[in-house]
Amino acid sequence: MKLKRALFAYAAATALSLTVVNAHAAETVRIVIGVGEGSAVHYGVEAFTKDLGERTNGDLRVRVFPSSLLDLRQTFGGIRDRVVDSGYMVLNLFPGELPEAQLPIELAMLGRNSYAMAGAMSEYILTCEPCIQERLSANMVPLGNASTGTYAILGTSPMTTEAELQGKKLRAAGGAWSRWAAAMGAVGVSLSGNEIFEAVSQGTIDGAMNAPSELTSIRLIDVATHVTTNMPGGTVHGLDLMSVNRDFWRGLNNEQRRAYMDAAALANAATTWKFAADVASNLKMATEKGITISEASAEAKARSDEAIQADLANIIQITTDTHKIEGAEEKIARFQDLVTKWGGLLPLDRQWSPEEIAEVYRSEIFSKLDETSYGL
């Protein structure tokens, strides 16, 4: 009888031990990145992985899946249906699913400071009830945004004056850049990223409106001869690498959700920082290779600024008629105010580290999200 009681006690203790171990077992966060390794997005997710592991004492680990699982267009559905828990989405690819998010994206040409644009976009989305609701309706929880570096003209001839721009065919990343090109006498050409190099090298187009980081990422450094650094400007700031499946989010406890939000701030900051760092390093490499780096003339820059300001009326019409957004004019004004605010919080007159940028994102945005209720 004593032996039987001893065996029972041992079995009970073992079961309790296994229960405790299972309760603290690490959970794997499955993230898909639909772009090649070595990208700024990979850099940001690596920073996130390390930070999240430290904040949760290893309870949340990250496994990254490549684009062979889901490409950029498939990732939205993959997160919604929980094929993965999270993934890298370029939000302008989903205007039908996320119309409210398109309004700040259409304001691309306001971008002069990528740290500020990522901050403005994150704050706008995370304090915009219709923006949050359209994401929740897709079974997702938004957690901020990153931004590319500021766009330049990467071309095969000088393009620093209005005369030099006349008739030039330039790859445009979206409607904002196409409208800018038309206003300046050039022609915006819609091409995917993997088509740009061939189009420039064959002379089909005269250049591309892209961040200078693309000089190496798509090898434009081998065909471009001139770079205009301060025109047209603009950023792609609808880069979402931290949105998560809502069912996954609900499965986390409060401490894990807080850790996840704080680590997401670093992911957005580190990705944006890497894009900006790649711009600087690429311009240095271009100079060393003999590519001419120039600024637009004062006259061309003034005309560019006028065109960007005049385009706001077009954006009001596009967001109202195409995206069916109510109160577009007020929402545009709000985003403009956020861009101004964030330009003051993260000015470009000093060097920033990813951690420093993340702290500003946390204090101004993520600390104000309630982990006990947000996204649930």
Residue 326 CB neighbour total at 10 angstroms: 10
Q: What is the per-residue pLDDT for 22?
A: 40
What are the chain's domains? 27-147+237-289+327-368 (3.40.190.170)
* Mean pLDDT computed over every residue of the chain: 93
The 3-state secondary structure of 256-286 reads: HHHHHHHHHHHHHHHHHHHHHHHHHHHHHHH
Assess whether pLDDT exceeds 90 at residue 9. Answer: no
What's the N-to-C CA distance of the chain in angstroms? 52
Mean pLDDT confidence for 70-91: 97
Which single residue is written with the structure tokens 């090109």? 181
How many percent of the chain have pLDDT more than 70?
A: 93
Which single residue is written with the structure tokens 């996840």? 260
Q: Model's pTM, two decimal places? A: 0.91
Beta bridge partners of 152: 210
Mean pLDDT confidence for 219-227: 96
Tell me the pLDDT band of 25, cut-offs 50, 70 and 90: low
Inter-CA distances, 166 with 123, 186, 187, 202, 206, Å:
38, 5, 8, 20, 11
Which single residue is written with the structure tokens 């990732």? 75
Q: Distance (Å, rounded) from C-alpha 177 to C-alpha 151?
A: 10
What is the per-residue burial (b if ≥16 Cβ within 10 Å, else e) of 347-369?
Answer: eeeeebebeebbebbbebbbeeb
Q: Are strands 169-172 and 207-210 parallel, antiparallel or unpaired?
A: parallel
Q: What is the per-residue pLDDT for 92?
A: 93
Tell me the pLDDT band of 26, cut-offs 50, 70 and 90: confident
CB 242 within 8 A of CB 144: yes
Q: What is the per-residue pLDDT for 194?
A: 83
Q: pLDDT tens, 178-201? A: 999 999 999 999 998 889 999 999
Q: Distance (Å, rounded) from C-alpha 103 to C-alpha 135?
A: 15
Mean pLDDT confidence for 125-140: 97
CA dihedral 257, 263, 269, 274 (to 10 degrees): -140
